[in-house]
Structure 1
Amino acid sequence: MGSKTGAVSSLLCCPCRCLFCGVLSCLFSVLACIFCVAALVALVLFLLFRPHIIRATAISADLSDFTLTPRTWILHYNLSLGLQVRNPNKRIALHYRGVVAQAHFQGQQFGHTAPPDFFQDTSETSTLDLAFAGESPIVGGIAAAAFRREAAEGAIFSVDVKISSHMKLKVWVLKVPGPKTKIDCPLRLQRRDVAHGQRPPEFHQTECRVTFF
């Protein structure tokens, strides 16, 4: 009796099992086809448009104030920076959103600004005018010692300006999400003696590092 019941159960389950396996196999085949087609389209688009990385250059800078209050270690700063960003792509336009610029000294952020979003057409160069002004505490004796040393060595300071943004790519009428962009500009800036009417010192253009993530 038990063997007959098992045989009947086996006969009833086999069609269901085959149907389930068939659905899984069909679903796997569809997903594999979609993946292959997407990879092929991405390869064709890459070979067709050959995207190039953007270029960023610091073209001007004026450090009119960069002083450290003794004992309290409060940094007073006033920095203006002109940053030139070039889109070398001939078929891809770029839209920068959520642009944030930060100024650092000895690894510590002391300034922050948020330029407006901007659009960059194909083969176009844009200039960002960044301004940092205010005061910020310097934490730790190492940073304060580095400030005093650089102030004594001609008041030429190592300032690092970092710019980040989210990017959208425009190909013809199609807009697709792009990577997050980070621009890093390590600068050597001479402080201007405003009290004696000194003009901004000569600034040598500096190439910035560009990374995507």
Structure 2
Amino acid sequence: MGKASTVSSLLCCPCRCLFCGVFGCLFSMLTCVFFSAGLVALVLYLLFRPHIIRATAVSADLSNFDLTARTWILHYNLSLAVQVRNPNKRIALRYHGVDAQAFYEGQRLVQAGLPDFFQDTGETSTLSPAFVGESPLVGGVAAAAFRREAAEGAAFSVNVKITAHLKLKLWVITVPGPKPKIDCPLKIQRRNATDGAGTPEFHPTECRVWF
């Protein structure tokens, strides 16, 4: 008898709150809401099987990367191509507010906006950010790192980060999505470091992607 009464109080509906007790009814409602949300999320996951996007830096050209003595002003001209792939079979992606930033020794060099684009299921798109300008290197650590890498073949460690806002197209429905962050740690040789032997070789680099 006691067990039946307990079960009845846990399964009460809002119409019987006066009889079940406010807290018991509230607990029952919250349990139903969480259970329903979890069930819907599981069904959607099994139906669409979402996968995280993939990104690869396939080419890069560092035509200028020089540090002015004493003032520590870094002059740079970097262009690269990053391929972004949508591996999903049932979810198309719409990117907007795409932004690319370049860093050297943790210091931001410049920011470059990129055009919005749409990516169908299984499609690969190429982003082509370009960074041209000059920036002061703050602190002696960054300047020392530049001198070391310049002496070791002029191959510099540049980090390129790309962010965007996503909208997910599920069949005919478009819903807001997460904000992907693409991090590409690159090792790029300055073009004039080859002494006229042509463009330095660049090895494609997998980028880290998270939300």
What letter corresponds to residue 80 of structure 1 in structure 2? S
Q: Give per-residue Cα distances to partners, 1:136-179, cap 9 Å, x unaligned.
A: 11000010011011111111101110111122211111222222
- State the partner residue of 1:74: 73
- What RMSD over aligned residues (CA atoms) do the two structures have, in Å? 2.2
**In the aligned structure 2, how far is the partner of 1:97 from the partner of 1:21?**
50
- Any conservation in 2 of the 1:192–1:198 contact (CA below 8 Å)? no
The equivalent of 2:161 in structure 1 is 162
In the other structure, the counterpart of 1:65 is 64
**Per-residue deviation, residues 20-44 of structure 1 (Å, max 9, x unmatched):** 9756655554443233222111101
Superposed, which structure 2 residues align to 1:1-213 within 5 Å? 19=18, 26=25, 28-193=27-192, 199-212=198-211
**Conserved? CA contact 1:156–1:190, under 8 Å:** yes
Tell which deviates more after alignment, 77-86 or 49-58. Answer: 49-58
Aligned equivalents of 1:138, 1:186: Cα separation in 2: 19
SS of aligned partner of 1:72: coil
Residue 37 of structure 1: SS of its match in structure 2? helix
The 3-state SS of whatever aligns with 1:193 is: helix
**Separation in 2, partners of 1:198, 1:136:** 29
SS of match in other structure, 1:123: coil
Distance in 2 between residues matched to 1:21 and 1:133, nearest whole Å: 69
TM-score of the pair, normalised by structure 2: 0.85
In structure 2, give the amino acid aligned to 1:93: A
- Structure 1 gaps of 5+ residues are 1-17
- State the number of aligned residues: 195
Stretches of 4+ aligned residues off by more than 4 angstroms: 18-28
Could you say what secondary structure the match of 2:128 adopts? strand
SS in 2 for 1:147: helix
Give the secondary-structure state (helix, strand or coil) at the position aligned to 1:47.
helix
Q: Which residue of 1 aligns with 2:8?
A: none
Question: Any unmatched runs of 5+ in structure 2?
Answer: 1-16
Change (3 A) 1:150 1:20: farther
Sequence identity (%): 73
TM superposition score normalised by structure 1: 0.84
Counterpart contact for 1:76–1:136, Cα < 8 Å: yes
Rg larger in 1 or in 2? 1
